[in-house]
């Protein structure tokens, strides 16, 4: 983009406007009035104008007109000479005084110009620093926007994962509950089966004891009929063997039922461990989400 071209006349008029408004004339003030241009150039144009005005006001003292000199010579040569000497001396003094005033004014303007240039350099440095800070702030803003987008994406992803984990945990809890209910039912059934086997074992033991007592009593009563008693004894022995086999089978059933109860207890423990692991994963995800939200909330808004 080309810089705005400002004429000297516009700069001079801007300086007069600033004087009328009782404001200090600086390069930046002139640029603000004219709407553009280099501050150092605007200041230089104004100073050149001021210097030209100061020099134009110093007019050289002219020598005495010829007519006056003639009239003076007519009056008296001595008086004319004295008047001429006095006029030349006054003219010389006036010229020298004017030159001194011009020199002082030029020197003052030069000092003001040097001071203005120093202030301009400081202002330019400050502007450069502000522009650099503005660029850094813009970059930081873009970086924060990018990080915020990434954080939102991560939060959404973690929210989906947390929902999935919560669903898995609920399913695990339902499975655990069902397993516990099934285990309780199996345990109750096993307890009932065990009680039935115990009762049957007790009954069989009572029957065995009764059969053995009857066998002994029959042996005493039928000592004479040994052959018949032996046959009955063999039958009772077979029946006793059968009862003992039934007793062994009942004990095997009790042992199997105990093993089933232990297996169901192990399944329940594993289900509880899996539910606890899912709960730990969800707690960790919640902590990560909270930490990420805390980081995003501490970032400057740009």
Q: Is it true that domain 150-297 has CATH number 1.10.760?
A: no
Where in the chain are the domains?
8-147, 150-297
Q: Name the percent of the chain lying above pLDDT 70.
A: 72
pLDDT value at position 99?
80
On average, the pLDDT of the chain sits at 77
Q: How many CB atoms lie within 10 A of CB 180?
A: 15
Question: With 0-12 CB in 10 A as exposed, 13-18 as middle and 19+ as buried, what is 46?
Answer: buried
pLDDT value at position 218?
52
pLDDT value at position 237?
73
Stretch 89-107: mean pLDDT, rounded? 75
The lowest-confidence range among 33-47, 254-268, 278-292 is: 254-268
- Confidence label for 128 from pLDDT (cuts 50, 70 and 90): confident
pLDDT value at position 1?
46
Is the predicted pLDDT of residue 8 greater than 70, yes or no? Answer: yes
CA-closest candidate to residue 293, choices 167, 158, 161: 158
CB within 8 Å of 30: residues ≥ 6 apart: 11, 14, 15, 18, 37, 39, 42, 43, 46
Q: 18-39 pLDDT, tens per residue?
A: 999 999 999 999 999 999 889 9
Q: 213-250 pLDDT, tens per residue?
A: 765 785 487 567 457 636 765 876 788 688 588 868 86
pTM over 0.75: no
Are the beta carbons of 197 and 253 closer than 8 angstroms? yes
Calpha distance 164→278 (Å, rounded): 11
pLDDT value at position 142?
87
Q: 40-86 pLDDT, tens per residue?
A: 999 999 999 999 987 655 555 556 677 776 776 778 766 656 766 87
């Amino acid at each position: 983009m080309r810089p705005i071209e400002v004429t000297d006349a516009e700069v001079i008029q801007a300086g007069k406007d600033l004087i009328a408004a009782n404001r200090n004339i600086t390069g930046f003030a002139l640029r603000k009035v004219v709407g553009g241009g280099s501050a150092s150039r605007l200041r230089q144009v104004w100073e050149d104008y001021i210097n030209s005005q100061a020099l134009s006001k110093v007019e050289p003292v002219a020598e005495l007109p010829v007519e006056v000199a003639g009239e003076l010579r007519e009056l008296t040569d001595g008086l004319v000479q004295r008047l001429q000497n006095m006029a030349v001396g006054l003219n010389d003094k006036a010229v020298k005084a004017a030159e001194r005033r011009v020199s002082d004014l030029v020197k003052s303007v030069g000092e003001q110009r040097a001071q203005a240039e120093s202030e301009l350099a400081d202002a330019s440095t400050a502007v450069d620093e502000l522009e650099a800070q503005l660029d850094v702030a813009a970059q930081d803003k873009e970086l924060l926007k990018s990080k915020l987008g990434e954080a939102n994406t991560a939060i959404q992803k973690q929210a989906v994962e947390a929902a999935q984990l919560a669903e898995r945990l609920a399913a695990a809890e339902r499975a655990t509950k069902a397993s516990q209910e099934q285990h309780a039912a199996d345990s109750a059934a096993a307890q009932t089966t065990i009680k039935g086997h115990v009762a049957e074992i007790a009954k069989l033991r009572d029957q065995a004891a009764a059969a053995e007592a009857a066998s002994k009593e029959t042996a005493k009563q039928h000592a004479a009929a040994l052959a018949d008693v032996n046959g009955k004894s063999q039958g009772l022995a077979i029946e006793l063997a059968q009862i003992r086999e039934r007793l062994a089978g009942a004990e095997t059933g009790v042992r199997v039922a105990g093993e089933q109860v232990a297996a169901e207890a192990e399944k329940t423990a594993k289900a509880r461990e899996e539910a606890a692991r899912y709960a730990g994963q969800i707690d960790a995800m919640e902590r990560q989400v909270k930490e990420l939200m805390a980081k995003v909330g501490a970032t400057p808004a740009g």
